[in-house]
Amino acid sequence: MERNNLYPIFLKLDNLQVLIVGGGNVAEEKLTFLLKSSPNAKVTMVSPMFREGTIELAKKGDVKLIKRQYSKRFLKGKHLVIATTDVPKVNVKVYENCRKKGILVNVADNPPYCDFYMGGIVTKGHVKVAISTNGKSPTTAKRLRQFFEDVIPENVDDLVKNLNEYRKTIQGDFEQKVETLNEFTKGLIAKKEAKND
């Protein structure tokens, strides 16, 4: 059976430079998701035109809009690139330029030209769940995101904070702390399950 071999990571986008090539619907959608998940992301967008919504959205974050045609000089200092233009030749050029420079790239809706995918994301305070369907079905990822938004309680952040404080009080080495926390949280899950019965 085929499986998802992607390795999930959580990036600190306020420490990285992101470039979005394009200014249409897809570019605006990518910017929306980026800023929703990482409001302090440092983003540059390059395109001959930008939608009104993109211009408004850019004002809410650390987003620089450059009204120009794409050129590889815009890759300088960038760590992640997302190509969203409706001109396949330009997107492939972005991909090839990024590969030569060792920059991670995502060509929207074109899995063979992606080093990474942007999955569905659920955020509740300090808890973040990322969902991937291996680039096969964004709709499934969306439905799973909605499911987890409903299932994960709003007060899960309290649990995270309380367990962090409790962890600081536990004596012993790393393994002992992990064992103690495992035992403690087992009880919490059992209590929650009992409540639901």
Q: What's the whole-number mean pLDDT along residues 50-65?
A: 97
Q: What's the whole-number mean pLDDT along residues 143-166?
A: 80
**Residue 189 binned pLDDT confidence (cut-offs 50, 70, 90):** low
Residues 161, 71, single domain; the answer is no
Q: In the chain, what percentage of residues exceed pLDDT 70?
A: 87
Closest CA to 22 of 82, 112, 80, 96: 82
Residues 66, 99, single domain; the answer is yes
Most confident region among 108-117, 135-144, 174-183 by mean pLDDT: 108-117
Q: What's the whole-number mean pLDDT along residues 90-119?
A: 95
Residues 143, 99, single domain; the answer is no
| CA dist., res. 74 & res. 134, Å (int) | 29
- Would you give the DSSP letter of residue 23? -
- For residues 62 and 127, the model is more confident at 62
| CA dist., res. 68 & res. 115, Å (int) | 25
DSSP 65-121: EEES---GGGGTT-SEEEE--S-HHHHHHHHHHHHHHT-EEEETT-GGGBS----EE
- Picking from 118, 136, 167, the residue at the C-terminal end of a domain is 118
**Contact present, 126 and 150 (Cβ < 8 Å):** no
**Residue 22 binned pLDDT confidence (cut-offs 50, 70, 90):** very high
Q: What's the whole-number mean pLDDT along residues 80-97?
A: 97
User: What integer pLDDT is reported at residue 192 of this predicted model?
Assistant: 47
Residue 16, classified by CB atoms within 10 Å of its CB into exposed (0-12), middle (13-18) or buried (19+), is middle
Residues 139, 81, single domain; the answer is no
| CA dist., res. 107 & res. 81, Å (int) | 8
Domain limits for position 128? 119-152
- Locate 191 and state its tokens: 């209590």
Q: What's the whole-number mean pLDDT along residues 120-132?
A: 89
Is it the case that residue 191 has pLDDT exceeding 70?
no
Residues 14, 96, single domain; the answer is yes
The amino acid sitting at 125 is: G
**Residue 138 binned pLDDT confidence (cut-offs 50, 70, 90):** confident
Residues 135, 56, single domain; the answer is no
User: What integer pLDDT is reported at residue 159 of this predicted model?
Assistant: 73
- For residues 174 and 77, the model is more confident at 77
Residues 70, 138, single domain; the answer is no
